[in-house]
Amino acid sequence: MISANFDALKAGDTIDGPAFAVSRESIRLFCDASLDYNPLHLDDDYMKGDFGKTNFGGIIMHGMNNFGLISRMLTDWALPAGAIHRRLETRWLKPVKPGDTIRPGGTIKAKQTTAKSRWVLVDVAVQNQRGETVAAGEAMLEFPAS
């Protein structure tokens, strides 16, 4: 994993995130922490039904749990270098279920210097234990001009 040094960073450098074990308990804890008690995350009977065109077959993790893990990876990487997590865009590609282990990662895409600051663009993704990408997106980190 590359350290957060603006001048040294180049496209293709990678950032590693933490592994996260998903369980019924972790999903329930996320309900309490986010106040999102949508039955998608709580109610197995409800989840036997169809959602428009989709059937999940059981409870699923909050999509925003992916978002929170990516955000954690970015801030833990950037903060020690004085860099600031400014933007994160994500979309969910596959549902995550109890028993899965997921891990976020990042790849430096580009650097940009503007009139007053310096920016790093990062492609981010979350993969499950089968190597499937469950969430993807991009982030923007600011490295204030020194």
Residues in contact with other proteins by the rule CB under 8 A: 18, 20, 26, 29-40, 46, 51-54, 62-65, 67-69, 71-72, 75-76, 79, 82, 84-92, 137
Question: How many other C-beta atoms can be found within 10 angstroms of the C-beta atom of residue 1?
Answer: 11
Beta bridge partners of 119: 112, 142
Q: Nearest distance from residue 27's CB to other proteins, in Å?
A: 9
Q: Which residue's CB is nearer to other proteins, number 10 or number 144?
A: 144
Q: What is the DSSP letter of 143?
A: E
Q: Nearest distance from residue 57's CB to other proteins, in Å?
A: 14
Q: Nearest distance from residue 87's CB to other proteins, in Å?
A: 5
Q: Closest Cα to residue 15, out of 88, 106, 87, 120?
A: 106
Q: Which residue's CB is nearer to other proteins, number 2 or number 93?
A: 93
Q: Which residue's CB is nearer to other proteins, number 24 or number 72?
A: 72
Q: Nearest distance from residue 100's CB to other proteins, in Å?
A: 15
Q: Which residue's CB is nearer to other proteins, number 12 or number 35?
A: 35
Q: Give CA 50 to chain center in angstroms.
A: 26
Put residue 3 in one of left, alpha, beta given phi > 0 → left and psi -120 to 50 → alpha. beta
User: Do 127 and 19 form a contact (C-beta atoms < 8 A)?
Assistant: no
